[in-house]
Structure 1
Amino acid sequence: MSTVINQQLAETLTQMRVGNQAFLISFYQDNRDLFARWARRQHQLDPAAAHELLRTVLVDFYDQVADGRLTKMPADVRNHLYGMAQERMEAATRQSTGTEELPAAEARRRQRMLRLFRQLGSDSQLLLMYFYFKAFSFDKVAGKMGYANATVARLQKANCLRKLYEIMSRDQSETDGAAGISPSAG
């Protein structure tokens, strides 16, 4: 019996990797009311917010499977997905209560980087987000961005980083100039 279940899980994973989302759709339809009750008890979410959370978690799960971060289907998929939802809710709580406060210097550095990052074009921002924050492979980045192949995605990422570096250098020069610091004063 266990081997049959393992084979079914492996087949489901394979189907998801090639874009078949039938498992996710049926999971959502079969479990959304149960998930909403759990979310109401655990996090005081109304049903609409719970359904949105479940959809978000299912998309995250699909992305993990599609880009190879999840290589083996969890034996208890429901428990795995509820755990992902729990992590999302805890992170949101920590963020909203400010319990993850950063030292002032680090907070300023991150705000500066975010401001500079936003000066990039939307395609550059998206490419860097896919690669660095979602951990997409170059093949997946190429597919998402419409590039011919992984090599083109790799070259585009290098261009984006070069642009960001130039923006950072320009900003640093302006900051140093405004502060009255000359390059030879060091």
Structure 2
Amino acid sequence: MNQPLAEALTHLRMGNQTFLINFYQDNRDHFARWARRQHQQEPAVAHELLRAVLVDFYDQVIDGRLTKLPPDLRNYLYGMAQEQLQAQKTTAELPRVEASRRQQLLRAFGQLGADCQQVLMYFYFRGYNFEKVAGKMGFANATVARLQKANCLRKLVELRARAMEGEAPSSSPAA
């Protein structure tokens, strides 16, 4: 069996995709069952995923990232599919996670005093340098503005950390 695999790699490098077409035809139903069982994927979606994985595999062979066929090709390709599905899941969760993080930060920001809110707004959102912040806030000089900004930022981080500690027990599953 090793000899046909070595030949298949040579044929793939020359652009002959017969090996991949045959692999797809021979394994598409098995792959669809695996994708349904492991990842709740519909057959049509699973077939598209298998085609995408085979194209990625072909690209690896062509550009030299893969110099020999793995001992268990099916396992290797299923692993590639697993990675793609995990990446899709992670990417889908990012907007929700980011929105939650921003809400936490906004709540903590609201707990800061008015002067701290103003200093941070001037510096981070309006892009004022420390001299301009000092002038707007009535501080003696830019060094005082820098120290005030650092102090306010430290308070914001502490408020957010306390809020996260308070949320941690409620977000864990009940036993």
TM-score tier by shorter-chain length is 0.5 to 0.7
Which of these residues, 41, 46, 51, is aligned with residue 45 of structure 1? 41
Matched residue, 1:135: none
Q: Partners of 1:20 and 1:77 in 2: how far apart?
A: 18
Cα deviation, residue 9, structure 1: 1.4
Aligned residues of 1:16 and 1:62 also touching (Cα < 8 A) = yes
Shift of 1:10: 1.1
- Corresponding position: 1:83 with 2:79: yes
Q: Which has the larger radius of gyration?
A: 2
RMSD: 2.3
How far residue 6 of structure 1 moved from its aligned partner, in angstroms, is: 2.2
How many residues end up aligned between the 2 structures?
103
Tell me how far 1:79 sits from its aligned partner: 0.4
Following the alignment from structure 1 to structure 2, what is the Cα–Cα distance between the partners of residues 26 and 10? 16
Q: Distance in 2 between matches of 1:75 and 1:8?
A: 12
Letter in 2 for 1:22: T
Determine which of 25, 30, 42 is the counterpart of 1:29.
25
Which of 55, 58, 62 is the equivalent residue of 2:58?
Answer: 62
Partner residue, 2:12: 16
Instruction: Supply the AA of the counterpart residue of 2:49.
Output: L
Describe the superposition over 1:159-180 as per-residue Cα deviations: whole angstroms up to 9, x where unpaired.
xxxxxxxxxxxxxxxxxxxx79
State the identity %: 66
Q: After TM superposition, what 4+ stretches of structure 1 lie above 4 angstroms from structure 2?
A: none
Q: Distance in 1 between matches of 2:36 and 2:76?
A: 18
Q: Deviations over 1:58-81 (max 9, x none)?
A: 000001001111001011110000
Q: CA deviation at 1:100?
A: 8.5
Any unmatched runs of 5+ in structure 1? 105-178, 182-186
Q: Does 1:94 align with 2:90?
A: yes
Is the aligned partner of 1:6 residue 2:2?
yes
Q: What is the distance in 2 between the residues matched to 1:100 and 1:82?
A: 28
Aligned letter for 1:69? R
Pick closer, same or farther for the CA change 1:100–1:58 going to 2, 3 Å: farther
Give 3-state SS (helix, strand or coil) of 2:37's partner.
Answer: helix
Change (3 A) 1:64 1:100: farther
Deviations 1:132-159 (A, max 9, x none): xxxxxxxxxxxxxxxxxxxxxxxxxxxx
